[in-house]
Amino acid sequence: MLQVFEAAAGWSSVRERLVGRVRDQDLASLDEAVEFAVRWHADQTRPAGEPYVEHLLEVVCVLVEAVGTTDIDVLRAAVLHDVVEDTECLLEDVRERFGDRVAVLVDWVTKPPRAQGQSREEARAAYLARLRTAPPDALLVKLADRLSNVQRLDTHPRPEKRRSYYLETVDSIVPLAQSHPWFRQWYAAWRDTFGHVAGDSPNALSQ
């Protein structure tokens, strides 16, 4: 059965789950990152209507509860990973508040603005290709980010987006998971669960 990560109850509930896994002083640092992200993302929602902050918290849950990540910079980057891409927040704002390492991780998983004359599809392809050279910590954030986005793929309101997102994940994200045993197994189970979206065969992952 596909493991699904929940954060609908909000940060206070997630925080309780992290007690004993993450040091108290690091939880306090995460409090600051969550507050920062909530302020910037404001009333943004996900495609199915959930508050956007749920996605950010799910990414943290994946990293801590499934992968065992306790590096506070990685966890803060997980909370902040969309703040530059999806709000008016600047990368320098992140760097000033949370330090250079967090800013570098956020930058790796942020889609850059399109270059002049570049199509949306070309820009996205370039972003996904660049991830193949991402440092390990940035890759962890990206794998957890995409996991949160696709773990309930069937709730996306647009069938054509479900199919394109499934295919993109198989083509560009699943290969990145192969060096991480837990993510490799999770994405294999996910592909088995949602393969019907594109008539895909899950057996290719095990070869």
Cite the active site residues: 85-86
| Partner residues linked to 51 by β-bridges | 45
Cα 147 off chain centre by: 6
- Angle, vertex CA 169, rays to CA 178 and CA 106, nearest 5: 80
- Say how far residue 1 (Cα) sits from the centre of its chain: 21
Helix (H) or strand (E) holding 142: helix 136-150
| Token pair for 120 | 């949306």
Phi, psi for 156 (deg, rounded to 5): -65, 130
3-state class (DSSP) for residue 22: strand
What radius of gyration do the chain's Cα atoms show? 17
The per-residue DSSP string of 148-171 comes to: HHHTTGGG-S-HHHHHHHHHHIII
